[in-house]
Structure formats: structure tokens, C-alpha cells
Amino acid sequence: MRQLLLATRNAHKTREFTEILRDEFHVSDLVEAQNIPEIKETGRTFAENAIAKAVNLSRAVVDLVVGEDSGLEVDALDGAPGIRSARYAGENATARDNIEKLLRALARSDPDRTRRSARFRCVLALARGGKLLGTFEGLIGGIIVDPPRGENGFGYDPVFAPDGFDKTFAELPAEVKNRISHRAQAIRALRARLPALQRGDQGLAGGGGGPGGWGPGAAGAPGPAALI
């Protein structure tokens, strides 16, 4: 079974990867590799952060490495919290802290609740041996609900109802979320390209399945990121 190392210590994200990829890969993360430091998210976009994580970590291990960055973009807040989603209420913020700040900001900017459209965006970067093999993007639109609802999921899931559903991500069963979510879309795009690795890295060169993919050496691709 192929090994796939995720450049994260977020157990929720690792679980979603494992559930979606099932028995095709042995998925591990940095919780199982305590001697490997995480990489700071210093990029200006989800793609820059994902690429920096994957490329830099892949220089230290022999496995395929997936870097991931994702977040919530709210139209009434001009795309915030965006790349700051995990740290919206501060560096050590909890999910509850972030949600409370989000709802306060929306109450100020959209008191009539007429502009609650939002989207979750996820970008994955695949690398090996310090070489970027491709990027993959997933996106799902929806609305922000208040008050939060549901006990499942993590992050902003209790306040995000995806288009076509009257339930939030936190109210939907995991199998439904794993079929429609932004991360599920990106993972499926990555999985569709992975067989090309059996024919050599050139099969993945030139970017991934989502829009705005980066290829090795693409203009604007970020250099090494600082290690924590």
C-alpha cells in the first residue's frame, strides 16, 4: 500500500483524508512524525501555503507529501476570514472563538442578514523529493447561519450550510460531507491523478485538477518557507 504523508497535525483533516481515500493509501500525518517541524503559513493564498508545506516537508522524507490549506470566505466580509480562518480570533483561538468573532463581524457588516453567502475553499499540493507534482482545488458555496447548529465536523462547520441543503456541515452525516465538501473535491481530484505516478513524475507535472494549478517552476511559485 502506498504511503501518503499529510503536512498537518490536524486530526480532523487526517480523518477526512482517510475516510475518502479508504484502503488505497496508508495516510499518516505529523502527529506520527514528531521530529518533523510544521511549516509556517506565510503565503498570501491557500495555494502558496499548501505548496510551501508540501515541497519543504518532502525534502525531509521519502514518502509522497500532501500540503493542505483551506478556509472560509464570506462575501459580506470581503472574503474574510480566508487564509486566516484557523487564526481569525487569534493565534491560539478555538473554533468557538473564531465562530463568535465571525458572527459578530457579520452582525456589524450585514445587520439585515441579506448577504450571508460564503464558500469553503481547499487547495492541496502534492510533492516528493522537494519537487512539486501538482495542485488540486475544491470549492463549495453556501450560506452562514446563526446560531450555530450541529455537533459533527469541526471549525466553522456549525455555521455553514452548503448550497442545496438546509442543514449545516455539522448536522450532516460524515458520509454526506465527505461526498460534497471542498476538501473531498480536492482529494478526489488528487486521487484521480495519483495513478500517473506509476508512470513517472512527469504524469503529474504542470499543475493539478483544480483551477489555478501550479506546475514545477511555475511563475510565482513560493520558495522555501520558514520552519517552526
- Give me the active site residues, please: 69
- Distance set, CA 16 to CA 12, 100, 133, 152, 170 (Å): 6, 25, 22, 12, 14
State which H helix or E strand residue 143 sits in. strand 131-144
With 0-12 CB in 10 A as exposed, 13-18 as middle and 19+ as buried, what is 164? exposed
Cβ-contact 136, 120 below 8 angstroms: no
Cα(139)–Cα(71) distance, integer angstroms: 10
